[in-house]
Structure 1
Amino acid sequence: MDGSSLIRKLPPGIVYDLVHMLEIRDAWKQLMAVVPREGCESDDCYVPKYKVEHMKLIEQAGVTQRQPCAEIFLDEWRMSGRKQSDLTFLLQQLGKAELFRAADYVADLMKVLYLSVPPLERPVTGPAAPVDVSEKTIEKRLANLPLKTSEPGNQYNTVEIDRAFDEMTEADGSLPSLDGPRIQAVGEVMQEEQSVFCGVTPRGESDGLGKQKTLPVDQLETLRNVSLHLDTVLPHLQYSELERFTDCFNELPLGNNGGRKLGAGTFGSVYLGILPSQKCVAVKRLHTDAVNVEKQFQNEIESLSRFRHNNLLGLLAYSCDSSTRCLVYEYMRNGSLQDRLACKDQETALQWRTRLSIGVDTARGIVHLHTTFEKPLIHRDIKSANILLDHQMVPKLGDFGLVRLGQQSNSMTMPTTTVLGTSAYMAPEAFRGDVSVKLDTFSFGVVLLELLTGLPPYDDGREGHDLVTHVEAMCEETDSINMLLDKQAGDWGQSHDTGCKEGPSVAVSLYTVALNCIEDNKRKRPNMTTVLQCLEEIIGFIT
């Protein structure tokens, strides 16, 4: 190899290592998003080579061919174009995508091959910053650490914890106690004081629609985390405390020999935490190598601090005193809507009335995001896996890592070159980087189809892999959803004993709303306020 070594000439072993790194948290998507079109590499005329349609095709090919998506992408990239990419160009693109682990690997490879390594800008702080791990540096830091003493009964800041969790958690006597002494709360806190501390209005104040009032942004008395510049009223918990609550982040699945793991996603894994008071919380530990992990962390904290609602997942606290960021949420006993529709762990199927209620309440949460302030908050990742169900089957929308603040109401579209989300739920314009509140409408329409059919959003075993394509193909001739209705849900309001007034069945009405939501032309697609009104009219027919 020489100074212009091409990516396509890399030995299989090196390609294998790169593929392994780029498969972690779908990092290949981040790299794919920054690759420029040939001849448009400079910043002043940058044009991306790939669109999100290409990402979707690679995802589908990965499933059908049983091949890593990162490998398919690298094969396409290194073999395409008149001017094929070399190692220097690969290193530059990895730097732009902030994939520094892979960038360091390529830089070390170039040094071994006696190639010149271009300077690569890296963040000064954060997980991506270079770390000096020499023995001399480590010994110096250890010598400067203060001695810590442990006092019995003073392991937790119990006053702060009780204030943060008392309003939004509940005790569960069926769960095992934590080892060690039980810590008693010091003093009592007034309910109103607790509510203000948590960033919510006192219990009993609502707008008549079952949602809590939101504090105006300009009236929030915020606490600022200096290192991360976080504006939030939420309490900070030490990582060591969260380790205690989660049995050191026990990786065994919940219910398996004392396991605590509830699940895992793109940005982190979630564990059951049991407080000394026996209240239950869900602790999300973010992956340190996840794409834009600091941005996801900040998004969740600052968004959920301001947007409080009965149908939005309650964020209770956060932790950033270690290299691993953590978020603490309400514990949702019935898991995700996706798992319940799939009858995971042999759970009974959701009945149609419950499904309709879940759809209406989820829409209320989305409308709250879109309308509370002058600029809407666009969720960008609405899906059944992010709709969690509490002990009473009340849905709460979570995972705000991809939220985007929209423009004012008279200008609701924003172009972007970074496309994130889950492809089976993404509107056509999302693949062009067009971000507006109508993205959330489309995604919610897919959720409605899941409620109607009980089918997964993506399945490579059916002719239309994604649910929208499958439903359109199956219902094209009859224009009816009846053949795909989930029969386990009941009769969908067709029998006389449901109290249904004369008119279309619940399923037909719900399907009509879903079709409007998944309209390809976003101008014809309704906003979520209109969608909510339609759903509430459906409820009116059965009451």
Structure 2
Amino acid sequence: MDGSTLIRKLPPGVVCDLIRMLETRDAWKQLMATVPREGHEFDDCFVPKYKMEHIKLIEQAGVTQRHSCAAIFLDEWGTSGRKQPDLAFLLRQLGKAELFRAADYVADIIKVPPLKRPDTGPAAPVDVSEENIEKLLAKLPPKPSRPVDQYNTVEINRAFDEMTIPDNSLPLLDGPHVQPLAGATQEESVACTVDTRGEYDVVGEQNTLPVDQLERLSRNVSLHLDTFLPHLQYSELECFTDYFNELSAGRDGGRKLGAGAFGSVYLGILPSKKCVAVKRLHRDAVNIEKQFRNEIEALSRFRHNNLLGLIGYSCDSSIYCLVYEYMSNGSLQDRLACKDKESVLHWQTRLNIAQGTAHGILYLHTAYEKPLIHRDIKSANILLDQQLVPKLGDFGLVRLGQHSNTVTMPTTTVLGTSAYMAPEAFRGDVSVKLDTFSFGVVLLEILTGLPPYDEEREGHDLVTHVEAMCEDTDSIDILLDKRAGDWVTSCVVGHQEEYDVAGRLYSIAVKCIGDNKRKRPNMATVVEGLEEIVGFIT
């Protein structure tokens, strides 16, 4: 085979190898995003062939056909257009997508030199020759004999004390147990008001960083990170997590709390007996350095009681890690599903979680002149502490918006979770209204207790399912999660009357998931509506 061999004419064995590589961490999406429209292959201004609608269609086809999404994509791309792609073109696009494992495989097939890799980062070439490995082993220091409690963790303990509310409960572990801490303080929440122009401003005290912390600003030379957060050695994190014990936390001393698209999360116990969550990022994750930098710089700058606290990070090895405060009640998604036989969340607790989450999103949108758009609001990213206070996490996809009067930005790279994505997201239209739509889907989850996506039901995503089931009655009652208690309560407004909490919450959700983003409320209006509900029932 040579570079002129068409993709559609590849032998089955080669196709299977490519599919296996492109299925890893959904790398096919990254490749798909680099494919140019026919006739624009050599233009200076990139014009994409595929939009987010196409990615979603492939995902849905993969579910319904029980077939590999990468295989569906290669089949579609390889047989479409007047000029069908060949191996030489595939190699160029793999390079643009920084999928160098697949690129090396294709280069070897067509007998051309491998593409040049970046000098630094996860995609950089690694010399695995026996000679180099022997040199590296010779340079390794002897295994330290000091116990783990002699590690210098002054900085991370300081960050932990400043940012977290401690938990009094932990899963049963064979190792040391976390002791409850006293004197927990909560950060002030953000409120909003309307100025004379009809715009919303943040009022109340923002949790700005003390001057002495800013003076301790550290700069990581290789990643160009500007952050006051402490850096921990990877070897220290290994000790804190029992060498990233893969057994589930609570079982035989296991430490694994969960896994996602970009990494796995482990329970870490510091020498001080405090508890943290350590996220170890996948080395071959798409845009890993960008995700890593986004998370650190966003959470260094934005501090709020309803945002997950980032305590430290590690990048002194080939594996990047992030250290967060530990959230003992897991994710909202798991609690709504009663995972591990957890008790059902009462409707009033759900309302408080919705209100706290909305405050966190509002803070991102309004704390500074330019809004921070999260782009991945979902119940799996809303974590609950011991008191069931919600904290929004996973800032790997955040995007800094324009000034408040022009908060829409076109983009050719669309990322996120499709069941939560607004229609305009598939066109690459990014604005604060994306987060509003996603939050509306979370409200539907809170009301129904149903998962955001279920291939077994008609209308796989929750928005479509709710619209189909509730269209005639304009009421959520048919899908309302009655396990959460009686959503109709009594209140006194001049006289005692019934108050339909579910109906009011559903009304807010419907406005949030509207197709027309101009008519969709901003988060300040959403917060105002939620506070009105809370005000009636308290």
Structure 1 residues 541 and 43, CA gap change in structure 2 (3 angstroms):
same
> Using the alignment, how far apart are the partners of 1:366 and 1:47 within structure 2?
32
> Using the alignment, how far apart are the partners of 1:330 and 1:153 within structure 2?
20
The one-letter code sitting in structure 2 at the alignment partner of 1:214 is N
Structure 1 residues 352 and 494, CA gap change in structure 2 (3 angstroms):
same
CA contact 1:169–1:279 (8 Å) conserved in 2 = no
Q: Does the alignment pair 1:134 with 2:132?
A: no
Structure 1 residues 500 and 166, CA gap change in structure 2 (3 angstroms):
farther
Provide the secondary structure at the position in 2 that maps to 1:29: helix
CA contact 1:311–1:365 (8 Å) conserved in 2 = yes
Which segment drifts farther, 206-215 or 523-532?
206-215
CA contact 1:169–1:280 (8 Å) conserved in 2 = no
How far off its partner does 1:340 sit?
A: 0.6
TM-score (norm 1): 0.90
How far off its partner does 1:527 sit?
A: 0.6
> Using the alignment, how far apart are the partners of 2:244 and 2:409 within structure 1?
39
Q: Does the alignment pair 1:346 with 2:370?
A: no
> Using the alignment, how far apart are the partners of 1:205 and 1:13 within structure 2?
57
Deviations 1:264-303 (A, max 9, x none): 0011000111112221111000000000111111111111
Residue of structure 2 equivalent to 1:170: 166
Q: Does the alignment pair 1:312 with 2:307?
A: yes
Deviations 1:96-131 (A, max 9, x none): 1111111111111112xxxx45x7342110010112
Supply the RMSD in Å over aligned alpha carbons: 2.5
The one-letter code sitting in structure 1 at the alignment partner of 2:334 is D
> Using the alignment, how far apart are the partners of 1:204 and 1:289 within structure 2?
38
How far off its partner does 1:50 sit?
A: 0.8
Provide the secondary structure at the position in 1 that maps to 2:226: strand
Which segment drifts farther, 102-111 or 137-146?
137-146
Residue of structure 2 equivalent to 1:235: 230
How far off its partner does 1:384 sit?
A: 0.2
How far off its partner does 1:42 sit?
A: 1.8
Structure 1 gap segments, 5+ residues each = 183-190, 192-201
CA contact 1:212–1:310 (8 Å) conserved in 2 = no
Residue of structure 2 equivalent to 1:215: 208
The one-letter code sitting in structure 2 at the alignment partner of 1:383 is K
Q: Does the alignment pair 1:415 with 2:393?
A: no
Structure 1 residues 261 and 501, CA gap change in structure 2 (3 angstroms):
farther
> Using the alignment, how far apart are the partners of 2:189 and 2:512 within structure 1?
26
How far off its partner does 1:328 sit?
A: 0.6
The one-letter code sitting in structure 2 at the alignment partner of 1:523 is R
TM-score (norm 2): 0.91
Provide the identity percentage: 74
Structure 1 residues 488 and 172, CA gap change in structure 2 (3 angstroms):
closer
Residue of structure 2 equivalent to 1:17: 17
Deviations 1:224-259 (A, max 9, x none): 112211111111111111111111101111122111
CA contact 2:513–2:520 (8 Å) conserved in 1 = yes
Q: Does the alignment pair 1:457 with 2:452?
A: yes
Residue of structure 1 equivalent to 2:195: none
Deviations 1:295-334 (A, max 9, x none): 1111111110111110000001111111100001111111
Structure 1 residues 425 and 207, CA gap change in structure 2 (3 angstroms):
closer
Which of 394, 406, 409 aligns to 1:399? It is 394
Count of paired positions: 518
Residue of structure 2 equivalent to 1:96: 96
Which segment drifts farther, 265-274 or 498-507?
498-507
Structure 1 residues 357 and 134, CA gap change in structure 2 (3 angstroms):
same
How far off its partner does 1:214 sit?
A: 2.8
Residue of structure 2 equivalent to 1:321: 316
> Using the alignment, how far apart are the partners of 1:278 and 1:229 within structure 2?
32
CA contact 1:376–1:406 (8 Å) conserved in 2 = yes
CA contact 2:187–2:305 (8 Å) conserved in 1 = no
Provide the secondary structure at the position in 2 that maps to 1:271: strand
Which of 355, 368, 371 aligns to 1:373? It is 368
How far off its partner does 1:169 sit?
A: 5.6
> Using the alignment, how far apart are the partners of 2:374 and 2:221 within structure 1?
27
> Using the alignment, how far apart are the partners of 1:155 and 1:23 within structure 2?
43
Structure 2 gap segments, 5+ residues each = 178-182, 192-202
Structure 1 residues 208 and 296, CA gap change in structure 2 (3 angstroms):
closer
The one-letter code sitting in structure 1 at the alignment partner of 2:13 is G
Provide the secondary structure at the position in 2 that maps to 1:462: coil
Structure 1 residues 127 and 3, CA gap change in structure 2 (3 angstroms):
closer
